[in-house]
C-alpha cells in the first residue's frame, strides 16, 4: 500500500471517530439540558400554577378590568334567574334577584359574608316569574367609594305554589367596585299639569313623564324597582323603573289610591264614590281581585301599611264635603281578616301616614303635630310638636324629615326618633316658589329634594346634606307628592 493511500485511510478513520464522538457529546449535552428543564418545571411548576390562579381571581374581582367601577361580576346562583349586585358606600350591598323558574318564589333570607362577618336579613318577598326584586343588606360592604369587594351570597327561598315548597338554597359570589346607584325623584302632579314626572338625581333633569289625570299619589314597591300610581279616573298603573315600561294597567272604577303589601305580591287599592269606599285586595300573581272590604268614608287623604300588614287610612276631614262623621279619624283594616279592626280618633286632619319600624307616623295639619302610633296596640306613643301645618314626611339614615307650611317661610324639620322624637334641626326653606311644600324625598347621595306646589310651573328644589340650595328642576303644575327610587344596580 502506498504512503498516500495509507494517509487517506487514516484521515477517513479519524473523521469517522470525530463524527461519532461529536454525536455522542451532543446527545449527552441535550440529555443534560432536558433533565435540567424537567427539574426546573418540577421545581417551579407549582409556583407558576399558583400565580396563574391568583391572576384569575384578581381578574374576576375586577382588578384588571377598567370598567369594573360601573359593573359587577356574579358567579353561581344557577337555580335562579339573573342576579346583579352593587356595593353602595354607607348603605350596603344591593342585590337584584330574578326569577327564571316559571313560577313565583319567595325569598325568606339573605346571608352575605363580608370581611369575615356574616350579615343576615330575613325577608318575605315574592318574586314573580320573569321579574326581579331588589334587596338591600345594610353595611355588608365597603364604605369607601371605588374600593373593590368580593362577597359570598346565600339566598334562601321557598316555592310557595309548588307541591315541594322548600326551603331551597342558591349561592354564589359577587364582586366589583363600590359606587352610587341610579337615583330618581318621582313627582305626582295635580292642577293642569296632570301626570307623573321622573327626575334623575344625578343630572337633575326630567327623564320620563307619564300621562295621568290627577294622580295625587305615587307609591314605591317593596323591591324598589316599580312604582304604582293612578293612571286614570278608573285605573291604576305599575311601571318598571329600570326601563320605564308599563307592567300592568288595572281597571278599577272610581280609582282613588293604592299601596303594596309588605312582600310585594298584593296591591291594596281604594275606590269609592258618594260617602263610601272599598279597599280592594288585588293579587299580582294571579292578576285577580281577592277581597273587597267596605270603608264607610270616601274622603281619603292617604294610606299607610304597618309591619303587621294592616292598612291605615286617614281621612280628609278638613273639607265640608266629608261631613263630621269622618273627622279626625284613622281607619285600621286587616286585609287577612277582611275587616276594619279599629278606628283611631283624636287626630286633626291627618295628611300623611308613614311606617317607621313598629310605629306609624301621622301628620296633623290643624293641630301642628306628628302623632306616633304603636302598631301592635294601635295606641298613641307621643305627639311631636312641629309648628304650623306639617305637610310631608320621609325617613333617611335613622332620621325623620318633615316639611311644615307657614309664613313667611316654610321649614324642614329633622327629628331623631332615638332621642325621644326630639327635633334636632329646623331648616328655613327659601320662599322663592311659594309656601306649599307637599313633598320631600332624599336621593342615594344624601341630597334632599323639596317640591313646591306652584302654578303654572312647579319646582323641585335640591338641598345638599348640609342644607345648601344647590339645584332646581322645573316641573309641571302643582307637584303634590314626592318619593325617591334608588336603583341599586
pLDDT, tens digit (0-9, with 9 covering 90-100), for 16-36: 444 444 444 454 444 555 555
Give the domain-ending residue among 129, 154, 177: 177
How far apart CA 287 and CA 39 sit, in angstroms, is 71
475 neighbors 197 (Cβ within 8 angstroms): yes
HEC-encoded secondary structure of 336-403: CCCEEEEEEECCCCEEEEEEECCEEEEEECCCCEEEEEECCCCEEEEEEECCCCEEEEEEECCEEEEE
**pLDDT for position 197:** 87
**pLDDT for position 276:** 82
Compute the average pLDDT of residues 143-166.
89
Beta strands in 77-116 (DSSP E): 83-88, 92-98, 105-114
* Residues 56 and 97 grouped into a single domain: no
* Residues 156 and 215 grouped into a single domain: no
329 neighbors 291 (Cβ within 8 angstroms): no
Strands 92-98 and 132-138: antiparallel
- 117 inside domain: yes
Rg (CA), the chain: 33
Compute the average pLDDT of residues 95-114.
91
- Report the percentage of the chain scoring pLDDT > 70: 78
Report whether pLDDT(489) > 70: no
3-state secondary structure of 118: strand
Compute the average pLDDT of residues 424-452.
83
Given the C-alpha cell 381571581, which residue does it identify?
57
* Residues 37 and 127 grouped into a single domain: no
How far apart CA 407 and CA 424 sit, in angstroms, is 21
- More confident of the two residues 261 and 38: 261
Q: Which of 75, 74, 70 is CA-nearest to residue 84?
A: 74
**pLDDT for position 317:** 54
Compute the average pLDDT of residues 211-240.
85
For 187, what's the count of Cα atoms within 13 Å in the CB-facing half-sphere?
Answer: 35
Report whether pLDDT(373) > 90: yes
* Residues 282 and 214 grouped into a single domain: yes
Residue 164's CATH number: 2.60.40.10
Band of pLDDT at residue 337, cut at 50, 70 and 90: very high
**pLDDT for position 46:** 61
Residue 388 structural domain: 182-487
Band of pLDDT at residue 414, cut at 50, 70 and 90: very high
How far apart CA 100 and CA 344 sit, in angstroms, is 44
Compute the average pLDDT of residues 211-237.
84
Report whether pLDDT(15) > 80: no
Report whether pLDDT(485) > 50: yes
**pLDDT for position 49:** 65
How far apart CA 229 and CA 340 sit, in angstroms, is 24
Torsion of CA 77, 80, 82, 88, to 10 degrees: -60
- More confident of the two residues 363 and 3: 363
Number of domains in the chain: 3
pLDDT digits (tens, 9 = 90+) for 47-78: 666 666 655 554 444 444 433 334 568 888 88
* Residues 168 and 209 grouped into a single domain: no
* Residues 233 and 322 grouped into a single domain: yes
- 30 inside domain: yes
**pLDDT for position 21:** 47
- More confident of the two residues 22 and 137: 137
Host H or E run for residue 176: strand 168-177
How far apart CA 83 and CA 311 sit, in angstroms, is 32
**pLDDT for position 65:** 40
Give the domain-ending residue among 132, 162, 177: 177
pLDDT digits (tens, 9 = 90+) for 440-463: 888 877 899 988 876 667 888 899
* Residues 116 and 255 grouped into a single domain: no
What is the average pLDDT value for the chain, to the nearest integer?
80
Q: Which of 440, 358, 460 is CA-nearest to residue 396?
A: 440
- More confident of the two residues 150 and 486: 150
**pLDDT for position 23:** 47
Burial of 400-423, coded b for 16+ CB within 10 Å and e otherwise, reads bbbbbbeeeebbbbbbebeeebeb
372 neighbors 381 (Cβ within 8 angstroms): yes
How far apart CA 191 and CA 209 sit, in angstroms, is 16
* Residues 22 and 163 grouped into a single domain: no
- 201 inside domain: yes
435 neighbors 407 (Cβ within 8 angstroms): yes
* Residues 198 and 261 grouped into a single domain: yes
**pLDDT for position 289:** 94
For 58, what's the count of Cα atoms within 13 Å in the CB-facing half-sphere?
Answer: 9
Band of pLDDT at residue 192, cut at 50, 70 and 90: low
Give the domain-ending residue among 154, 177, 200: 177
- 194 inside domain: yes
Q: Is the dihedral of CA 13, 16, 17, 18 positive or negative?
A: positive
- 65 inside domain: no
302 neighbors 360 (Cβ within 8 angstroms): no
**pLDDT for position 101:** 87
**pLDDT for position 445:** 79
**pLDDT for position 139:** 85
Compute the average pLDDT of residues 253-280.
89
Burial of 113-136, coded b for 16+ CB within 10 Å and e otherwise, reads ebeeeebeeebbbbbbeebbbbbb
Q: Is the dihedral of CA 228, 136, 108, 103 positive or negative?
A: positive
How far apart CA 11 and CA 445 sit, in angstroms, is 94
HEC-encoded secondary structure of 213-269: CCCCCEEECCCCCEEEEEEECCEEEEEECCCCEEEEEEECCCEEEEEECCCCCEEEE
- 66 inside domain: no
Compute the average pLDDT of residues 104-111.
93
- 83 inside domain: yes
Given the C-alpha cell 439540558, which residue does it identify?
33
Amino acid at each position: 500500500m502506498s504512503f498516500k493511500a495509507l494517509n487517506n485511510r487514516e484521515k477517513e478513520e479519524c473523521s469517522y471517530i470525530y463524527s461519532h464522538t461529536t454525536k455522542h457529546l451532543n446527545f449527552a449535552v441535550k440529555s443534560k439540558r432536558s433533565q435540567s428543564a424537567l427539574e426546573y418545571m418540577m421545581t417551579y411548576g407549582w409556583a407558576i400554577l399558583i400565580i396563574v390562579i391568583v391572576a384569575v381571581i384578581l381578574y374576576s374581582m375586577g382588578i384588571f378590568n377598567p370598567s369594573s367601577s360601573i359593573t359587577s361580576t356574579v358567579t353561581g346562583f344557577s337555580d335562579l334567574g339573573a342576579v346583579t349586585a352593587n356595593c353602595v358606600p354607607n348603605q350596603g350591598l344591593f342585590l337584584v334577584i330574578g326569577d327564571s323558574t316559571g313560577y313565583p318564589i319567595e325569598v325568606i333570607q339573605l346571608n352575605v359574608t363580608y370581611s369575615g362577618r356574616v350579615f343576615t336579613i330575613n325577608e318575605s318577598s315574592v318574586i314573580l316569574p320573569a321579574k326581579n326584586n331588589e334587596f338591600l343588606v345594610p353595611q355588608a360592604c365597603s364604605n369607601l367609594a371605588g374600593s373593590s369587594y368580593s362577597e359570598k351570597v346565600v339566598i334562601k327561598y321557598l316555592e310557595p305554589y309548588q307541591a315541594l315548597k322548600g326551603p331551597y338554597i342558591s349561592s354564589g359570589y359577587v364582586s366589583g367596585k363600590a359606587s352610587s346607584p341610579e337615583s330618581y325623584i318621582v313627582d305626582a302632579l295635580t292642577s293642569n299639569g296632570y301626570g307623573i314626572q321622573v327626575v334623575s338625581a344625578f343630572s337633575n333633569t326630567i327623564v320620563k313623564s307619564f300621562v295621568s289625570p290627577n294622580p295625587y299619589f305615587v307609591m314605591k314597591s317593596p323591591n324598589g324597582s316599580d312604582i304604582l300610581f293612578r293612571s286614570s279616573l278608573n285605573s291604576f298603573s305599575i311601571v318598571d323603573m329600570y326601563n320605564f315600561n308599563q307592567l300592568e294597567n288595572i281597571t278599577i272604577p272610581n280609582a282613588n289610591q293604592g299601596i303594596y303589601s309588605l312582600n310585594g305580591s298584593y296591591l291594596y287599592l281604594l275606590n269609592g264614590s258618594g260617602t263610601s269606599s272599598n279597599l280592594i285586595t288585588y293579587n299580582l300573581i294571579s292578576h285577580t281581585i281577592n277581597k273587597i272590604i267596605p270603608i264607610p268614608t270616601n274622603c281619603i287623604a292617604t294610606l299607610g301599611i304597618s309591619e303587621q300588614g294592616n292598612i291605615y287610612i286617614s281621612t280628609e276631614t278638613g273639607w265640608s264635603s266629608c261631613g263630621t262623621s269622618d273627622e279626625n279619624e284613622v281607619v285600621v283594616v286587616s286585609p287577612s281578616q277582611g275587616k276594619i279592626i279599629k278606628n283611631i280618633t283624636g287626630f286633626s286632619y291627618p295628611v300623611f301616614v308613614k311606617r317607621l319600624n313598629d310605629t306609624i307616623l301621622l301628620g296633623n295639619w290643624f293641630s301642628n303635630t306628628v302623632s306616633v302610633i304603636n302598631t301592635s296596640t294601635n295606641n298613641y306613643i307621643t305627639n311631636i310638636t312641629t309648628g304650623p301645618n306639617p305637610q310631608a314626611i320621609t325617613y333617611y339614615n335613622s332620621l325623620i324629615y318633615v316639611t311644615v307650611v307657614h309664613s313667611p317661610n316654610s321649614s324642614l324639620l329633622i327629628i331623631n326618633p332615638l332621642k325621644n322624637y326630639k327635633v334636632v334641626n329646623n331648616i328655613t326653606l327659601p320662599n322663592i316658589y311659594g309656601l306649599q311644600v307637599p313633598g320631600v324625598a332624599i336621593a342615594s347621595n344624601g341630597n334632599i329634594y323639596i317640591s313646591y306646589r306652584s302654578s303654572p310651573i312647579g319646582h323641585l328644589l335640591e338641598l345638599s346634606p348640609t342644607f345648601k340650595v344647590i339645584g332646581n328642576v322645573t316641573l309641571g303644575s302643582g307637584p303634590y307628592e314626592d318619593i325617591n327610587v334608588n336603583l341599586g344596580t
